[in-house]
Structure 1
């Protein structure tokens, strides 16, 4: 990637800061025109830096997604593979439910064409070793994939992001998904 001029670098950083605030307030469909006005630039400048809304969302959430991916890597070596996988799923679910717009970005990622950076692809790559290890240990139902789990937690996050306590509600629903609907028949 070519080095940007100083003013272009400032515009990029300013647009990211303004977009992060707008998305936190209005969600993933925050007005691009309002972001441009607030940043004091034209809408063409926004489009030059972020050719699509998805590119803007990915840039806004990059650091947060990288933190979630880092957590997956930290947990991969744990002896209890089921506990490691569940801990990571809880962290991702809570993040997606409480970071306004992230769940929507993850949903759109799945339908969008390949990008240089894709939030869902990053989470999938980071979580795959946890899923593989849990499956190898018999701690995961056969056939469950990382894609299944990302879809599940994204759905839970979308369903809870507007609740009064999104992280707690998302965790409760994840528990329900993990334990099932019926008590054990032991």
Structure 2
């Protein structure tokens, strides 16, 4: 039986909170690899010490919107899981320290985050990052870091002090 994740209760209790920015995503093992997974009696799995757990949650606050994703393991992850996690971290660091010329779009720098995964034949099939709003859409443009984002007339080039939320996961979990 599905129960609300503690993140829903905790987020809603904060003083400046005005509600969730999206329904929390809570998935264990292969469910954590499903983008926007929703619990169901026939697919739910308990948290164990043998599988990865993903929690994606956020809130609408008077001073901004949040979108926070965490991947956790409560036991000893396999060598494969540790390699994947490390390569995602490598890509996040590479992108975070990257210096690029003004005038580029997010899709033009996305490969910096993917390169450590590509080098061993791995990929993820969604965006690397997106803008976040305030009482608007959690995935708010005009900025997106994604190879898969189709250009639109509303796109803006990246500039200093833009804030992006990360968005990395893997489709299939071991």
Length-normalised TM-score, structure 1 = 0.28
* Higher helix proportion: 1
Length-normalised TM-score, structure 2 = 0.29
